Structure 1
Amino acid sequence: MPFARLATATTPTCHIGLGLAAVGRPGYINLGRARDLPAERSVEALRERTHDLLDAAYAQGVRYFDVARSYGRSEEFLADWLKSRPDVADVVVGSKWGYTYTADWSADAEQHEVKDHGLATYERQRAETDALLGDRLDLYQIHSVTPDSPALTDKDLHARLAEAAARGVTVGFSTSGPAQADAVRAALAVTVDGEPLFRTVQSTYNALETSAGPALAEAHAAGLTVIVKEGMANGRLAEPNAPAALRAVAEETTLGCDAVALALILRQPWAGVVLSGAATVTQLGSNLHAAVVDLDDHQLAGLAELVEDPAEYWERRGQLPWH
């Protein structure tokens, strides 16, 4: 598996990856975008921002980069950076298919993405990804699987994914929504010719939303690499929006709320890669401090009080505006 390279990385930040959802398109649901991004969010401005982040991440030991077909031009930006940096052969690249970006580079579009887990969408988006990333693609994931997703039962799709795996691409899936645990367990049962199809799972897990934890532990025990997304809860766990309990722990550690929030995830024995969704180089540097945060039992108890009901968490997430 390509992900085996992360296990042999020598830097303490090897378990932190960089996701490009926030900088691959002008509009997203993260809080604080007006502060984090340039006033003019042109293609070239965000391409430059993305390359700055990738340079900084690589220099500080980050080796996993996460994009998706629906993240605007994230695959294009990453592909450009890879071509300009032939010395970065040790990075691991993951992308996702299943959502089509429809905002046409607008932050005010009526609809930003359309979900479809059908075989035709896979074939089209796989060709699009191949055209940009080619043999640099290590991991291809189904984007946001839910328990009712046809991707869990479509045998023709499973056969095509198994063919991709046989050619050397790791096949995985991501999850979203209040029933993430059910989706993970359903995906673990998917096999082709008696062999498990999926080798990675990417799920939302953070101080507010921990419901997928037991299922992710099961996935880890089954041999899957677990990737954690939305560790900052789309900015709800970062200053100035962080809850008081998190700010108190951050003050005790003398580090940022973001570093503490990500450190809480890194403590989980099943967490293989924890994604930073930083939009600035400064944010990235602060996120990477998570690798040195040491939380005691009292601090962990305080953070445990932040956990929300999954349905309430996802309802609130669904109300965050694209901006």
Structure 2
Amino acid sequence: MPFARLASATTPTCHIGLGLAAVGRPGYINLGRDRDLPADRTVDALRERTHELLDAAYAQGVRYFDAARSYGRSEEFLANWLRARPDAGDVVIGSKWGYTYTADWTTEAERHEVKDHSLAAYERQRAETAALLGDRLDLYQIHSVTPDSPALTDKELHARLAEAAAQGLTVGFSTSGPAQADAVRAALAVTVDGERLFRTVQSTYNALETSAGPALAEAHDAGLTVIVKEGMANGRLAEPHAPEPLKAVAREAGLGCDAVALALVLRRPWAGVVLSGAATLGQLASNLHAPAVDLDEGQLTRLDALAEDPQVYWRQRGRLPWH
């Protein structure tokens, strides 16, 4: 597996990855984007910002980069960076299929992405990803699997994914929604010729949304690499939006709320890679302090008390505007 390359890494940031959802397109649901990105979010401006973040992350020891077909031009920006950085041959590259970007580079679109987990969608998007990332792609994930996703029962799709795995591509899935734990467990049961199909899982887990934790521990015990996304809850755990208990622990630690929030996730023994979704160099630098945060039992108890009912969490997430 490509993630075995990270196992021997010795930098404190080897368990932090950089996700490109926030910078591959002009609109996203993260809070504070009016401050984080230039007012004129042209393709060139966001390409430049993406490359700056990739350069800074690589220089600080980050070795996993995460894109998706639906993240606007994230795969294109990443491919451009890889061509310009032949020294970065040690990075692990992941992307996702299953959503199509439909916003046409605007923040005002009625629909920003359309979900389709069919075999036809996989074949189309696999070709599109291959045209950009070629053999630099290490991991290809089904984007936002839910318990009712046809991707969990489509045997023809499973066979095609197994073919890709046999050719050296790691096959995984991501989850979203209040039933993430059910989706993880259902995906763990998917096999082809008696072998488990998926080798990685990427799920939302943070101080506010912890419901997938037990299922992610099961996935880790089954041998999957666990990738954690949305550790900052789309900005709800960053200044100035962070809840007061998190702000208090951050003051005690002398670091940002974001570093503490990500440190909480990094402490989970099943967490293989925790994604930073930074949109600015300052955010990235602050996120990368997370491995240095030492939380005591009292602080952990206060942070654990922030967890919300998953239905409430995902309902609020669904109301976040595409800035």
TM-score normalised to structure 1 length: 1.00
Report the counterpart of residue 74 of structure 1 in structure 2.
74
- Aligned equivalents of 2:281 and 2:164: distance in 1? 35
Which secondary structure state, in structure 2, belongs to the residue aligned with residue 9 of structure 1?
Answer: coil
2:134 corresponds to: 134
Deviation at 1:289, TM superposition (A): 0.2
The residue that corresponds to 1:257 in the other structure is: 257
Unmatched runs of 5 consecutive residues or more in structure 1: none
Q: How many Å apart are 1:247 and its aligned residue?
A: 0.1
**Partner residue of 1:85?**
85
- Note the 1:6-17 alignment, pairs <5 A: 6-17=6-17
Q: SS state of the match for residue 51, structure 1?
A: helix
Residue 191 of structure 1: how far off its partner (Å) = 0.2
Offset of residue 286 of structure 1: 0.1
| Alpha-carbon distance in structure 2 between the residues aligned to 1:38 and 1:322 | 16
Equivalence for 2:105: 105
Instruction: Provide the C-alpha distance between the structure 2 equivalents of 1:155 and 1:289, rounded to a whole number of angstroms.
Output: 44
Q: Amino acid of the residue matched to residue 288 of structure 2? A: L
* Structure 2 alignment gaps of length 5 or more: none
What secondary structure, in the 3-state scheme, does the structure 2 residue paired with 1:30 have? coil
Q: Which residue of 2 aligns with 1:200?
A: 200
- Counterpart in the other structure of 2:124: 124
Aligned-partner residue type, residue 88 of structure 1: A
AA in 1 matched with 2:157: L
- Residue equivalent to 1:217: 217
Question: What is the identity, as a one-letter code, of the residue corresponding to 1:30?
Answer: N
Following superposition, the deviation at residue 300 of structure 1 comes to: 0.6
Structure 2 residue aligned with 1:305: 305
Write out aligned runs for 1:158-197 (5 A).
Answer: 158-197=158-197
Q: TM-score, normalised by structure 2?
A: 1.00
How many Å separate the matches in 1 of 2:6 and 2:179? 29
Partner residue in 2 for 1:235: 235
Separation of aligned partners in 2, 1:310 and 1:2: 32
SS at match of 1:27: coil
Q: CA deviation at 1:304?
A: 1.1
Provide the C-alpha distance between the structure 2 equivalents of 1:129 and 1:287, rounded to a whole number of angstroms. Answer: 28
Q: Which residue of 1 aligns with 2:316?
A: 316
Shift of 1:244: 0.2
Cα displacement (A) at 1:260: 0.1
Q: Distance in 1 between matches of 2:126 and 2:215?
A: 28
User: Secondary structure at the residue paired with 1:163?
Assistant: helix
Deviation at 1:9, TM superposition (A): 1.0
Structure 2 residue matching 1:12: 3-state secondary structure: coil
Identity rate, percent? 84
Q: In the aligned structure 2, how far is the partner of 1:303 from the partner of 1:268?
A: 13
Runs of at least 4 residues off by over 6 Å? none
Mapped pair 1:58 → 2:87:
no
Over the residues paired in the alignment, what is the CA RMSD in angstroms? 0.3
Q: Distance in 2 between matches of 1:256 and 1:21?
A: 22
Q: What is the CA–CA distance in structure 2 between the aligned matches of 1:305 and 1:220, rounded to whole Å? A: 24
